[in-house]
Amino acid sequence: MTDTERRLRAAAFGAHLGVSDAVLADAASAAPRLRWLAAVVTGASGYYARAAATLEPLLGDGYPVVASLAASTLASHRRQLGGHANARTLDAAALRAIVTATARPGEADPDGADAAGALADALLGLAADALALGHQREARRLLARVAVEPSCWRTRVRHGWVSAEVELAAGDAAAARPHAARAGELAREHGGVRHALKSDLVLAAAAQDARLASTVLDEAGQFGLTPLMWPAALLLGRDATTIVYGVLRRTDPLGRALAAASPWVPGVSEMSW
């Protein structure tokens, strides 16, 4: 593993979230998997336009795992902007790319950057899309198709998020809380700072825990994870318009249009570019 890959993995899935422009520049001319990792990092900080410019060329990559991971990642960015129907199209493309792929010898990846992880990402993304579009039964069916054991830690964490969200949508916060709490435990066991914060955000929503939501808001701000900041602010009943504006300034035109059309993203209609 190269030094560039180690740094990108630490930022995408670990505890060292800051990545220099030099590392990102190295990744821009590197192998497709490293370019995908760079897009995960930039997207996590809300630089959606930069991430999309990296991911879109990878959608047609000849290696199904990379093509699928790229589609799922772009879908997650669109979903975070409220573009659930657009995300559904991308997640479906991710599933098509990987559903018939076979694992290569020695391919198993600790962070799920492999065939099994890509398949799980696609199914979990589709479940999240279905839930946001009001199709709870479909979301549960898709969730049940994800092979949780054995699987990498990231799949189990994301499965916990979507499981909690399904229960919240059904009005059962008590059933949601253990899923979110376990996701947080798993993320911390594996040093995944960003994943732990997202788990805490889901748990705060399930438990209506203002103190936890405030902690997520503060820590996400320290790490520059702006996509986690505005949902935390909304949970606290605060005006998130300034945070959203900062994110959308770094978003491509399609992403901004999706946000403007979404009831989930506050204050976009009042913004000018």
91-147 per-position pLDDT tens digit: 999 999 998 876 665 678 999 999 999 999 999 999 999 999 999 999 999 999 998
Q: Quick one: which of 83, 67, 63 has its CA closest to 75? A: 83
Amino acid identity, residue 60?
Answer: G
Q: What does the alpha-carbon distance between residue 143 and residue 63 come to, in Å, rounded to a whole number?
A: 25
143-181 per-position pLDDT tens digit: 999 987 777 999 999 999 999 999 999 999 999 999 999
- Average pLDDT (197-223) is 97
Q: Do residues 91 and 122 lie in contact, with contact meaning Cβ atoms separated by under 8 Å? A: yes
60-88 per-position pLDDT tens digit: 988 999 999 999 999 999 999 999 999 99
Q: What does the alpha-carbon distance between residue 155 and residue 161 come to, in Å, rounded to a whole number?
A: 10
CATH number for the domain that contains residue 209: 1.25.40.10
Q: Do residues 19 and 224 lie in contact, with contact meaning Cβ atoms separated by under 8 Å? A: no
250-266 per-position pLDDT tens digit: 999 999 999 999 988 88
Please report which helix (H) or strand (E) contains residue 146, including its range: none
For residue 68, the enclosing domain spans: 3-270
Q: Please tell me the total count of domains within the chain.
A: 1
pLDDT at residue 256 in the model: 95
Amino acid identity, residue 190?
Answer: H
- Average pLDDT (233-256) is 95
